[in-house]
Structure 1
């Protein structure tokens, strides 16, 4: 099973603005896909692993509360097995062993994890040279070799297109160097892609079948 942060405990003091992350519009994915087909672009889809844990929590300003995680039960034993120094921080609460830790990186289950990851990825893409779309904050373009490189992303699922395979390969190399340290970014090239529950089929020239 998967152990997650119980984000519902923080709902009372986190506003929607602190937790709501943008996602690509379905219509935008379809429209840009049609453009890809019409122009005959090469397509590449990617999945970035361990996205949240690669995202630092924002630094607290003076007077702000830190985010604390309470670890109990068998997880305490696992923590000590991984690093015996945690034994010094074990306390007893209601007869159970507990470790309190300060959260330094976003964890799956945190309400703000999606938004923090979005800001992380967007900043990296802008650093690479992408300009984000005015009407959809999850679509961005940049000109490479006088041709448009387009990306769409939903959390950690990225779809990219360009006329030249070399450009896509260079982009994959960069994103894998940036986010593939814990596990390599998975990449699919070709004319058929599974993306956000859809099968995008570019097999017929100039057409996109979904």
Structure 2
């Protein structure tokens, strides 16, 4: 990555910037997002599925939750509405997100 025009320092034109986080659109941005999401969701006691790394589950008593991650979309499947609301509220504190409501069609 080159220094942006107007931000170069005389004599230091060959220096580069060290990024503190991934820039959207870079080759490694999706990996960085997935790694961050995985760390956060496991911190909320979700367990990654052994056969599909984009599927997580959480069991709390008789409540069961499945979380499916597809690129940057999340599908939550639950048998307990309160648990669903708690997870959505918690996720919104961790990530900038928008609740799209119930899914009407899933591929």
After TM superposition, the score normalised by the length of structure 2 is: 0.82
Larger Rg: 1
Question: More relative contact order in 1 or in 2 (CA 8 Å, sep 6+)?
Answer: 1
Q: Give 5+ residue unaligned stretches, structure 2.
A: none
Which of residues 169, 172, 179 is equivalent to 2:88? 172
Displacement of 1:148: 1.5
- The structure richer in strand per residue is 1
Secondary structure, counterpart of 2:2 in structure 1: strand
What residue in structure 1 maps to residue 9 of structure 2? 91
What residue in structure 2 maps to residue 154 of structure 1? 70
Alignment of 1:112-191 (within 5 A): 112-180=28-96, 185-190=97-102
**1:132-159 deviation per Cα after TM superposition (whole angstroms, max 9, x unaligned):** 1111111010113412200110232110
Displacement of 1:191: 5.2
- The structure richer in helix per residue is 1
C-alpha RMSD of matched pairs (Å) = 2.5
- Provide the rounded CA distance (Å) in 1 between the counterparts of 2:101 and 2:25: 31
Displacement of 1:99: 8.4
What residue in structure 1 maps to residue 4 of structure 2? 72
**1:115-171 deviation per Cα after TM superposition (whole angstroms, max 9, x unaligned):** 121111111111100111111111010113412200110232110110122211111
**Counterpart check, 1:105 vs 2:21:** yes
Q: Give 5+ residue unaligned stretches, structure 1.
A: 1-68, 77-88, 193-198, 201-209
